[in-house]
Structure 1
Amino acid sequence: MPRSPLALAALATVAVPGLDAYDVRRPAQPGTDYDVAVVIDAQRRRWVVRAPSSAAAGAALEAEVDLLEGLAEHAGSGALPFAVPRPVGFAHLPEGGRAAVHAEIPGAPLRVDTLRPGPGLAADLGRAIAALHELPTSVVESVGLPVYEATEYRQRRQAEVDEAARTGKVPPALLRRWEEQLEDVAMWRFRPTVVHGDLSAERVLVHDGKVSGLLGWGDTVVADPADDLSWLLVAASPEAADSVMEAYQLRRTELTDPHLQRRAFLAGELALARWLLYGVRTGDDEVVADAVAMLQDLDEHTRLADVESSASYA
């Protein structure tokens, strides 16, 4: 059973000595792996308390806490131009594990539909992601989180596609398309970087027209930088996405990855395959049906795009 906001507020007062809880609220977008509340103290300071809802979430939180310490140092030095959550206290839970409390980062979740081409928020977002990818990989390696070489990561993607194919629920044309791209060795020559691993509009905080913070670091790895760009290239307008990518490339010191955007688009497509596999593994028929519908839509869209492309060259 989810913990009540009052129970979470009580945990916050234990975690942070002297915290005088004045009010407590559920966040606008509560998570599924954690019970979360925003606690407002008597000085109107705002604190976020997160309590894991399972043993797996508890283990992920502990790994994330170690990572956040390293990231906070880079944010403090200016290497990262945005804030990250920095736990300031913990409260032990009766069932094991700990709840963590950090100061709330100012900002509201990004609205992708508000991104416009040019030097504004889209460019700032590109620079923010690039700064993350420029961090030394030791930030991740030192806390024991996964580190993948390019060849190894390509093999992981191939294994996902093979498993999705065995379900018999992926359109054959999509499978061929994915397999062709995974077999293109040149496409997978990239330098692995620190990767957030779960970037989405909800994870990006915006304040005064700039990226103020990134949340949700539980899936951080050293892997393909394209993974952090896929959601933007799919969700943003092409013009805004171009501004993101231009600013990103200018901020990066690694400029020899001509297939970055191709892999980013592929990563977005393979996310549907992973959603299908999640539904199959958990026996959730609704998730499976949702994934199948999205895969069919993607198949139809790519077929239409291929026809239009062929017509333009005729």
Structure 2
Amino acid sequence: MTYLGEGWDSTAFLVDGRWVERRPRRPGIGPQLVRETVVMPWLAPLLPLPVPVPEVVSEEPLVVRHELVPGEEITSPNAVQGRQLGEFLLALHAAPVAAARRRGVGPMPLPVDRFRAEVRVPGAEELLAAIDGLPADTLVHGDLGTEHVLGRDGVLTGVIDFGDLHIGDAAIDLAWALHSTPPEFARAFAETYGVTPELRERALTWHRLGPWHEVLHGNDIGDRKLAEVGLAGVLERLRTG
């Protein structure tokens, strides 16, 4: 067994060079991991890239296991990968919401009260007002970024970490692809997905909100440096978008 690292919610180990075992880092994460074992076997066949399909291998303590998704974090996103991600999100966002709900997927309310209390910066209320009332009618990954989009030899090989899968605004999944990637990737992604000006603007709103979660997580685990990095990101994105 090889230690792979810790995310915000779970700890991961590689077993026999093939299986990834995940264990919750705190009690509230257990139901989320179990939900993935119900949702992902249904969702995976609908998607054009490999994704984790976990199963429960131990209930006490809780351990879920899935086959290793190939690839590494992409460091130089290119146009081919942009088109691939566009195709992936078209498929994900077309997944039937009613079927997802039957498997336990619902909305993911934002911690707005905590945002107001813990992220006190100029422009905060305007951003929170922009988030309020956005659509919540699509099955979304909820946490797409370089660490969760895998590639090898210039192509995408998989998408991982569906812990934040929920019924929400499709634009949340466009935020990183449109606003944190090289122009050739972003253009190819936008053309493939069919990004409209309204979608792009909503994606920018979600992009600006991203570091707010980092501030709260740093506060939750008592990591002052992480919270300060998150706050710097909040200010930078509010200034520049």
**Contact 1:89-1:102 at 8 Å conserved across structures:** no
State whether structure 2 residue 91 is matched by structure 1 residue 115: no
- Equivalent residue, structure 2, for 1:132: 92
**Contact 1:67-1:139 at 8 Å conserved across structures:** no
- Separation of aligned partners in 2, 1:123 and 1:300: 29
CA apart distance, 1:168:
6.9
**Contact 2:36-2:54 at 8 Å conserved across structures:** no
Give the SS at the match of 2:40: helix
Percent identity (aligned): 27
- Separation of aligned partners in 2, 1:279 and 1:88: 30
| CA displacement, residues 20-54 of structure 1 (integer Å, 9 cap, x when unaligned) | xxxx3223x543432321122xxxx6111222232
- Within-5 A mapping of 1:40-189: 40=16, 46-72=18-44, 75=45, 79-87=46-54, 90-93=57-60, 96=61, 98-111=62-75, 114-117=76-79, 120-147=80-107, 160=112, 164-167=115-118, 169-171=120-122, 174-175=123-124, 177-178=126-127, 181-182=130-131, 188=134
**Contact 2:140-2:165 at 8 Å conserved across structures:** yes
**Contact 1:35-1:51 at 8 Å conserved across structures:** yes
- Separation of aligned partners in 2, 1:164 and 1:30: 24
| CA displacement, residues 197-241 of structure 1 (integer Å, 9 cap, x when unaligned) | 111211122245433222111111111011111122222023321
State whether structure 2 residue 188 is matched by structure 1 residue 243: yes
Give the SS at the match of 1:194: strand
**Contact 1:46-1:104 at 8 Å conserved across structures:** yes
| CA displacement, residues 71-120 of structure 1 (integer Å, 9 cap, x when unaligned) | 13xx2xxx310122223551233xx4x21222212222222xx1234xx1
- Separation of aligned partners in 2, 1:193 and 1:102: 25
- Equivalent residue, structure 2, for 1:153: none
Paired amino acid for 2:148? R
Paired amino acid for 1:115? P
| CA displacement, residues 247-266 of structure 1 (integer Å, 9 cap, x when unaligned) | 112xxxxx8x6411111111
Q: Which runs of 5+ in 2 are unaligned?
A: none
- RMSD of aligned residue pairs (Cα, Å): 2.9
State whether structure 2 residue 13 is matched by structure 1 residue 37: yes
- Equivalent residue, structure 2, for 1:292: 231
**Contact 2:69-2:160 at 8 Å conserved across structures:** no
- Equivalent residue, structure 1, for 2:162: 217
Pair 275,191 (structure 1): closer, same or farther in 2 beyond 3 Å: closer
CA apart distance, 1:195:
0.2
**Contact 1:110-1:206 at 8 Å conserved across structures:** yes
**Contact 1:230-1:268 at 8 Å conserved across structures:** yes
- Separation of aligned partners in 2, 1:139 and 1:297: 39
Give the SS at the match of 1:35: strand
- Separation of aligned partners in 1, 2:8 and 2:220: 18
State whether structure 2 residue 8 is matched by structure 1 residue 26: no
CA apart distance, 1:166:
4.5
CA apart distance, 1:61:
0.7
- Equivalent residue, structure 1, for 2:208: 269
Q: Which runs of 5+ in 1 are unaligned?
A: 1-23, 149-155, 250-254, 303-314
Pair 103,293 (structure 1): closer, same or farther in 2 beyond 3 Å: closer
After alignment, is 288-297 or 136-145 more displaced?
A: 288-297
**Contact 2:136-2:167 at 8 Å conserved across structures:** no
Pair 89,248 (structure 1): closer, same or farther in 2 beyond 3 Å: same
Give the SS at the match of 1:100: strand
- Separation of aligned partners in 2, 1:103 and 1:193: 27
Match of 1:233 among 158, 165, 178: 178
